[in-house]
Structure formats: C-alpha cells, structure tokens
C-alpha cells in the first residue's frame, strides 16, 4: 500500500478528533471532545480539487495540538502530492511539518505561551512595524508553519515569532517590553526578513521559483530552452535550442560508436539561468521602540497615551531616477488608546519626515507583496520586492484611527482608517506630486450562531491608495469571507472565499488577466 494511505489510516486510528471553527481557531477551548471531518472542493493554483479533511485538536491540559490531515483529489483520481511527498529528506520534513496546524501552550495573555503552526493575527507592540500579520493568507496553496512565543522574564515580557520553519527563519521578529520609572512602559522591537525572495512560490524546493522554473515539480531540472520536455542538462537532450542541428556527437547519441566527441552546433542559444533563491537574497530589517503611559483605569473606562518610532533598515529604489536610496523612518509622536466598555478606540498622529516608509509594513498582505516577478519573458523578469516600492512614498503627515467593538457573545467588529497627505509618486504621470495616502480595514465576525447560520466572518483591506472607498483594487487589497450553514444532524455546509491581487506585468494596475487570485473552498463538515 502506498505510504501516503498508510499514514492517513494511521492518523485516523490514533488521534481523537475534536471540533473547531473553520480554519481552526487556535485560541478556542478544545476541552470538549467531538469527532469532526469535512469533505468538499477547494481551489489550488486555479484548479478545483476534491477535498477530504480531518483536522483534530488534541488537548493535554494547557497544551493543545491541532493536526491538518488533508487529501486533495482531482477528477481523474490523482492526489495532490505536495502534501504527501516522502521522496527525500527535505520533502519528508516539510510533509510532516505541514500536518501540524498548530501546537499551543497557554494563551497570549498568560505569562508562558508558545504556538507552532498557523499564525492568524500577529501584532507587536502598538503595531508601527508588525500589524495583523498572517502566514495563512495563501493557505492551502502555500502552507506555512510558523512559531510565536511570549514569556514574562527579566521584569518584563519577551515576545518572538517566525513565519515558517520551512524557510529557516525567513521573516522573524522579537520584542521586549518592561515598566520603567514614573509609570511608563517601554518596548523595543526588531523585525527582519532574511530573504524577501522566499515569498516566491517554489513547489519542488530547488531554489528556483515556479514562475521561472520550466520543471516546477522536479527538483533536478529547471531549464528547457526548446520546450521539448527535456532539461538542457539532460544527457539525451541532443538539440538544446531546437534549431534542428544536433549539438554534439558523442556516445550519448544512438548510432555514434566512436570515442571522439564532435561539436556540430557552435552557436547554441540558451535560456538564461533563472533566479536561485538559495544563492541570491534580498535582506530587509527594521527596528522600533515605543513608550506608553496609562493615565486612567477604572471600571469599564481606561485611557492610555503612547508614542512610537520605527526605522526601516535597507535599500529602496527611487521611482523616477531608478537609483538606490536608504529606506526611511516613521514617527507617531502621540497616540491615544481608550476603552469604553465593549469598545476600544485608537487615535494616532503620524509622520514620515523623509518618506520611504510604510506604517504597519509587515501586515496581512505582506506575504502577497513580499516579492513578485514583473514583465516575464523567457524565464526572466524584474523582481519587485516590497522594499523596492517604498521609494514612491515621500514626506507625509496625517492621522490614523481605529475602533474595536466586542458585543458580548454576538460578534466582534473592527474598522481602521489612515489618512496621510504629502508627496507621492504618480505612475501615470511619472512624477512626484501632492497626494493623499489612505488605508482602510474592516473585520466582522459572528461569535454566536443565529438561526441556521453557524458561523460567519468577513474581511476587507485596502492600503496606501488615494481613496480606499473607490474600491479600486491594488496589490494591498485583500477581501474574503466564510459562512457556515447548519444542515442538521451535526453537519455544517461551509463556503470560504478569499481574493488577492498581484501586478504581474508591472503596469501599475491589477486588472489584467492572471492578476486576480481567487481561492474558494466548499465543504460539508460533520461532528458528533
């Protein structure tokens, strides 16, 4: 029997299965055992696959382990092998890692907490650098198993995270916060991306991103100049450039028995070597510090004041002159956080004195914006990292506000809005001019079933655009929702939708073919 089926059956036999929310709520109480599974359909890389899923959550006191045991099968009965590849050491490691949705001990508000797996909403401090980051945005097309921890130590709190063990500490951050004299609390943070190119999908793990790899599922091959299905380095590839002239007569050519090697084609035109992220990198670092002061806390009312500073440490590109220049810094000289019963309000003054900065640089859309290829031709293209795009922001000032409402057991709602004014690059006019830089985020989550609606949530984000309420899509646009309908007898029909965008041709918009990425999942879950 194939090893993938053996492991699946083994998992079903040894693991008790517990109910959880769609995409597994890692902070939920998993102490009440219920058997749960799901079947349905999911979109992966634009293709629809049938899904059979078991996602058990196994509690051991304060420790909880959630597994992600999934089979994707196409209409011809083929299994999506990325989740079940035991062909070699690195792939075995990644396959086993992918079976863990999370391992969690404690909770975010306890003095001892760690979590391995899916990171759904990561924020450091007041969020000037890292704000609402998620490593699950591209799931299930891209599976990431990250880690975060929080520990009370040395008179303060130490927090850290990394986005994906398979990236070997790709995106990593650490923060320490502690009280200081006169009632203040001081925090210092660092976030770094070891190699932004790791954001490019590489299915076979050979270091060549899929988009420039002629054999994205074969670790040993990656260039096929003439498109005949044979790698240029394959011994039986006698005509690399497909011009009809045998490149070299040697013992590899049938019918040639002489020991002599004769070169027949002296002008072979080859495809250039594609990017190898194992040899090339684009590192980007940042640091921040903040200070806060609680000024009132009584009953359902509390008020805090704070200030933040952050600097991005790396190079960006001037959008007109195309020269490298240092990234900039951002200042929040005054921020206010106020809690009124179930509502929390934040208001901040924001400044970018020299530009080349983005507040909340590492955010929910970071994994999409991290690195993309533009203007693809002949397995080559311009790689645009997120740090490259910072040059379009020049001196800007403005404000940010957000409101969070927790209406008991009914629902959670959050809205956030940023409005900065100053100078910014206009791609249509190829000029730097006065502009408005606005961002808008909205989240709504149903916490309690209503009639036949078992669960529901909705999310929308639009960042760094002239007017987010025009709803003109950009690379920072993320939208999605899921809804679960109770069918009876412990069965729930769930529909999940998520949409992101990438400017693949570098024309400044995301309206062309192939630049809209939709992920859908329809499944029926059962529990008893």
- Written in H, E and C, the secondary structure of 127-177 is CCCECCECCCCCCCCCCCCEEEEEEEECCEEEEEEECCHHHCCCEEEEEEE
- Read off the tokens for 227: 């498109």
Whether the CB-CB separation of 406 and 412 falls below 8 Å is answered with yes
Question: How far is 62 from 303, CA to CA, in rounded Å?
Answer: 32
pLDDT of residue 94: 78
Residue-wise over 63-79: b if at least 16 C-beta within 10 A, else e?
ebbbbbbbbbeeeeeee
Q: Please, are residues 238 and 252 in contact by the beta-carbon 8 Å criterion? A: yes
> Tens place of pLDDT for every residue, the chain, 528 residues?
444 433 333 333 333 322 233 344 444 444 544 456 788 888 877 788 888 887 777 888 788 887 878 888 888 888 887 778 777 777 787 788 888 878 889 877 778 999 998 888 899 999 999 999 999 888 777 888 899 999 998 899 999 999 998 888 899 999 999 999 999 999 999 999 999 999 988 888 888 998 889 998 888 899 998 888 999 888 888 888 888 888 776 666 665 655 656 667 778 888 888 889 888 899 999 999 999 999 998 888 999 999 999 999 999 999 999 999 999 999 999 999 999 888 999 999 999 999 999 999 999 989 989 998 887 777 778 889 999 999 999 999 999 999 999 877 788 899 999 999 999 999 889 999 999 999 999 999 988 888 888 889 999 999 999 999 988 888 889 999 999 998 877 788 889 899 988 887 777 788 888 888 888 888 887 765
Question: Other C-beta atoms within 10 Å of 117: how many?
Answer: 27
Q: For residues 25 and 448, what is the distance between their CA atoms, to the nearest angstrom?
A: 14
Alpha-carbon distance values, 120 to 83, 115, 136, 386 (Å)? 21, 11, 6, 21
Q: How far apart are the two ends of the chain, measured CA to CA in Å?
A: 30
Alpha carbon distance 193, 327 (integer Å): 15
Residue 62 backbone class (left: φ over 0; alpha: ψ -120 to 50; beta: rest) = alpha
Dihedral, 27, 30, 31, 34 alpha carbons, nearest 10: 160
| Architecture of the CATH domain 106-195+282-527 | Beta Barrel (2.40)
423-443: pLDDT as tens digits:
999 988 999 999 999 999 999
Instruction: Indicate whether this model's pTM tops 0.85.
Output: no
How far apart CA 210 and CA 277 sit, in angstroms, is 12
Which pLDDT belongs to residue 245?
84
Domains in the chain: boundaries: 1-33+46-105, 106-195+282-527
Is residue 440 within 8 A of residue 469, CB to CB? The reply is: yes
């Amino acid at each position: 029997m194939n090893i993938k089926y053996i492991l699946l059956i083994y998992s079903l036999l040894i693991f008790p299965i517990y109910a959880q929310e769609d995409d597994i709520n890692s902070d939920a109480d998993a102490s009440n055992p219920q058997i749960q599974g799901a079947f349905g359909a999911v979109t992966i890389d634009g293709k629809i696959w049938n899904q059979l899923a078991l996602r058990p959550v196994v509690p051991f006191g304060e420790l909880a382990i959630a597994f992600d045991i999934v089979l994707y099968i196409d209409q011809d009965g083929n299994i999506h092998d990325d989740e079940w590849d035991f062909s070699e050491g690195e792939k075995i490691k990644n396959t086993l890692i992918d079976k863990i949705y999370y391992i969690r001990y404690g909770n975010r508000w306890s003095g001892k907490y760690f979590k391995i797996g899916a990171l759904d909403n990561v924020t450091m401090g007041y969020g000037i650098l890292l704000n609402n980051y998620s490593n699950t945005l591209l799931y299930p097309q891209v599976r990431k198993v990250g880690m975060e921890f929080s520990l009370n130590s040395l008179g303060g709190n130490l927090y850290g995270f990394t986005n994906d063990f398979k990236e070997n500490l790709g995106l990593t951050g650490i923060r320490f916060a502690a009280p200081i004299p006169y009632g203040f609390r001081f925090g210092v943070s660092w976030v770094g991306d070891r190699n932004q190119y790791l954001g490019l999908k590489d299915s076979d793990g050979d270091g060549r991103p899929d988009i420039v790899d002629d054999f994205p599922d074969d670790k040993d091959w990656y260039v096929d100049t003439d498109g005949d299905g044979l790698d240029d380095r394959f011994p039986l590839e006698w005509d690399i450039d497909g011009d009809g002239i045998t490149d070299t007569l040697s013992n590899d050519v049938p019918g040639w028995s002489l020991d002599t090697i004769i070169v027949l084609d002296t002008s072979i035109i080859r495809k250039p070597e594609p990017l190898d992220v194992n040899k090339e990198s684009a590192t980007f670092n940042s640091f921040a510090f903040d200070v806060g002061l609680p000024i009132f806390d009584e009953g359902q009312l509390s008020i805090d004041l704070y200030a933040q500073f952050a600097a991005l440490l790396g190079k960006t590109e001037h959008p007109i002159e195309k020269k490298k220049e240092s990234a900039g810094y951002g200042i929040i000289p005054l921020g206010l956080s106020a809690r009124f019963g179930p509502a929390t309000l934040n208001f901040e003054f924001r400044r970018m004195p020299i530009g080349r900065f983005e507040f909340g640089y590492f955010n929910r859309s970071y994994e999409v914006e991290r690195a993309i290829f533009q203007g693809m031709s002949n397995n080559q293209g311009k790689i645009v990292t997120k740090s490259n795009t910072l040059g379009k922001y020049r001196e800007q000032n403005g404000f940010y506000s957000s409101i969070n409402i927790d209406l008991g057991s009914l629902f959670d709602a959050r809205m956030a809005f940023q409005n900065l004014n100053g100078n910014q690059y206009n791609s249509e006019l190829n000029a730097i001019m006065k502009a408005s830089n606005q961002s808008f985020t909205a989240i709504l989550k149903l916490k309690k079933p209503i009639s036949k609606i078992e669960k529901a949530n909705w999310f929308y984000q639009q960042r760094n655009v002239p007017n987010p309420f025009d709803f003109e899509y950009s690379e920072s646009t993320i939208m999605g929702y899921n809804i679960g309908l109770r069918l009876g007898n412990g069965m729930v029909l769930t529909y999940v939708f998520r949409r992101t965008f990438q400017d693949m041709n570098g024309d400044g918009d995301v309206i062309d073919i192939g630049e809209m990425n939709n992920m859908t999942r329809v499944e029926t879950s059962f529990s008893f």
